[in-house]
Amino acid sequence: MEIIEMIEQGAEARVFNVTYLGKPAVLKERYKRKYRNPLLDEHILKERMRSEARGLLRSKMAGVRVPAVYMADIETGRLCLECIDGITAKKFIDKELEERGVECNDSLFQVMQLCGESIGKLHSDNLIHGDLTTSNVIISEKKPVEVSLIDFGLSYVSTSVEDKGVDLYVLERALVSTHSSADKLFEQILASYKQTYHSGAKEVLHKFEEVKARGRKRTMVG
């Protein structure tokens, strides 16, 4: 494996562009946090590595587009993944809203529907992403457009309606905090989510509204 360049340094990991067996790939390298107890830190690092690898594999089996796992080394905290070409949903939405606005923007609505479909497939398989933000959704810049989910370090398996509702709430908050047309965009996501997860969406969306109301109440109380 050849490291080409570091492309991101987050709170928990560094991300590099690499080549792996002659193919372009992404290396995610989790590093130790000195402020944490060493044993606790090692446990958290390994658990998040396992969660990400398992979440990616389970998502792929559920029909969700995610990066393929090329290599996982739990001891060193290194995870090598397929390189997904595209831009984040955040950048895509910003670009579309600036250039074309939200009304009758078929391209934008199509992407939101694909997002809802992907989340519906996850929840149908009882997989919770845990960090559904517009930065963890990648939109291809080629036709036909494709939507991929990334960063499954906080993912886990759960049948809980509350957990699925919170997953949706995290995404809704991410949209509201960065995009003025969030309500219309989220409507498209939910419509597609209901079509995909027809057996459980009604209960999840009811719980989502409860979670949203609790969040609003906490904001008002301060």
The pLDDT value recorded for residue 220 is 43
Note the pLDDT tens digit of each residue in 53-99: 999 999 999 999 999 999 999 888 899 999 999 999 999 999 999 88
pLDDT top residue among 121 and 178: 121
Q: Please give the Cα distance from 65 to 12 (Å, whole number).
A: 24
Residue 167 and residue 122: Cα distance in Å, rounded? Answer: 11
Could you read off the pLDDT of 150-192 as tens digits, one per residue?
999 899 999 999 999 999 999 999 999 888 788 999 999 999 9
Catalytic residue annotation:
131
pLDDT range class, residue 19, cuts 50, 70, 90: very high
pLDDT digits (tens, 9 = 90+) for 87-115: 999 999 999 998 888 887 899 999 999 99
Confidence at residue 218, expressed as pLDDT on a 0 to 100 scale: 56
What CA–CA distances, in Å, run from 135 to 9, 47, 132, 155, 171?
Answer: 14, 22, 8, 16, 10
Contact 137, 178 (CB under 8 A): no
Q: What is the model's pTM?
A: 0.89
More confident residue, 67 or 10: 67
Where helices occur in the chain by DSSP H, the ranges are: 38-61, 89-100, 106-124, 161-178, 182-196, 201-221
